[in-house]
Amino acid sequence: MKRNDSGSITPFFIIVITLVVFVGLIVFEYAFYQFQYSKQKAYMYREMDKIMSSYNKDLFNELGLLAVHKEGLTSPISDNEVLSNQIKKLMEQNHLVKTITKAEDIVNEFIEHKATIDLKAFDVSYLNLELYRILNGEASKVEIEDFVTNLATVSVYANVENVSMDDLKEMIKKMEFKKLKDLKPVFVIRPSIRKHVEEILSAYEKYDIIGVYNHFVLADYCVEYMGYNFTKEEHHLASEYIATGVKNNDINKYIVSSEIYLIRILLDFVETGANPTVRNRIQKITFGEPRLFVVAAVAVSALEAFYDTNRIIHGGKVPFYKGDEGFISFHLTNKYYKHGFTYPDYLKLVLMLNSKNTILERMKVAIGERFDMNPDEFFTEVHMEKRIIFKPKIIPFEFKKVIKGSLSYE
């Protein structure tokens, strides 16, 4: 009886073990297939990353644009949307830094005014420079003490990467500079502050129905990155060409000067009525007669705009609204404004008089000439498609899979 029972159980276990082994082999083969799939996908992305990392260094270093000179890629910088998006992303970061820097300057001015001390605690670049000097033994004992004292204020708006603020403070106090250098600490703007500034810029763009912000982004990029050659001799096309479409620098000077003059005459005419200081002066010489006031206002605006334009193109400052400082025309001596906007700022206004597509088209011509290249041949995106076939040892059919991927600079 016992023999019969053991004889019936043995074949069952053999069948079960065989099934378990078979299922195990299938699972193993499928796992190996998944491993090969992930491996091939990793290889594909590594290849794409290698392609994208071979970007044109000159183009990036000079104009901040990322593009690859290689056939078979997509999204060339000659496409207006591609170029526009790249510029927008670049300038968003620039405006973020400028906004935060301006906020830092305002706080610093307030602290200096109230405490009558020279404090640069709200300057991230300054903090990193001072930290570098301390770690390299270039700072005096007093400078180190001031730096440690200021860290309490710094924590309000900045974080330090790779080490906590408390540990940084203690390690500096204990002169553990070699250990700190290995950790490579660096100050960065707090994410919450960065986020708030980004939200402000995002909201501004959202409610900018007529597209003034997008126009300003392009104009700002042109002046900051393409440069301008109004007051200096350059051999490449710059913002003046983008503003006028004329390649001759001498002709450009007259056109840009004329457009600045028109902007200034409009601003000055508005101020003859809006600024009490200017309005009262004109009313006195016209005896309060409305028609004479208009004629005098036009004449004064025209003369004032001439002085303004001359001042601007020679590197001087002229505010959009002159306020209590009044008009140059009313002063017998040469008047200089304490605050105001210079030629690059007015050039941005001239650029904004053009359409977005006009600016982008001229920009591509200027880029092509500067780097002696065709923007149609420089791309910002790579797509790849790879077909893999896996032949298992146990399973009687093949696994086929198409791997698709893409990398982009946008």
Domain check: are 253 and 109 in the same one? no
Question: Residue 118: its pLDDT value, please?
Answer: 47
Domain check: are 364 and 400 in the same one? no
**Residue 363: how many other CB atoms lie within 10 Å:** 26
Q: Is residue 81 part of a domain?
A: no
Closest CA to 149 of 113, 117, 177: 117
Of 198, 218, 239, which residue constitutes the final position of a domain? 198
d(CA 387, CA 309): 65
Domain check: are 145 and 188 in the same one? yes
Contact 339, 318 (CB under 8 A): no
Domain check: are 226 and 361 in the same one? yes
Tens digit of each residue's pLDDT (9 = 90 or more) over 159-177? 888 888 889 988 998 889 8
Q: Give the Cα-Cα-Cα angle 30, 33, 36 (nearest 5 degrees).
A: 155
Domain check: are 271 and 299 in the same one? yes
Contact 133, 144 (CB under 8 A): no
Of 160, 176, 198, which residue constitutes the final position of a domain? 198
Question: Residue 128: its pLDDT value, please?
Answer: 83
Structural domain for 316, as ranges: 210-368
Question: Residue 117: its pLDDT value, please?
Answer: 44
Domain check: are 249 and 331 in the same one? yes
Domain check: are 97 and 179 in the same one? yes
Q: Could you tell me which residues come within 8 angstroms of residue 307 by beta carbon, excluding any fewer than 6 positions away?
A: 328, 329
Domain check: are 191 and 315 in the same one? no
Q: Is residue 179 part of a domain?
A: yes
Of 167, 198, 229, which residue constitutes the final position of a domain? 198
Closest CA to 346 of 212, 246, 230, 208: 230
| pLDDT < 70: residue spans in the chain | 1-9, 12, 18, 21-22, 25, 97, 99-123, 193-194, 196-211, 231-235, 332-333, 392-397
Q: Is residue 378 part of a domain?
A: no
Domain check: are 220 and 343 in the same one? yes
Q: Is residue 361 part of a domain?
A: yes
**Verdict on whether the full-model pTM lies above 0.75:** no
Question: Residue 406: its pLDDT value, please?
Answer: 87
Longest dimension (CA), the chain: 135
Domain check: are 388 and 350 in the same one? no
Contact 331, 291 (CB under 8 A): no
How large a percentage of the chain has pLDDT more than 90? Answer: 28
Domain check: are 152 and 179 in the same one? yes
Domain check: are 249 and 316 in the same one? yes
Number of domains comprising the chain: 3
d(CA 184, CA 161): 8
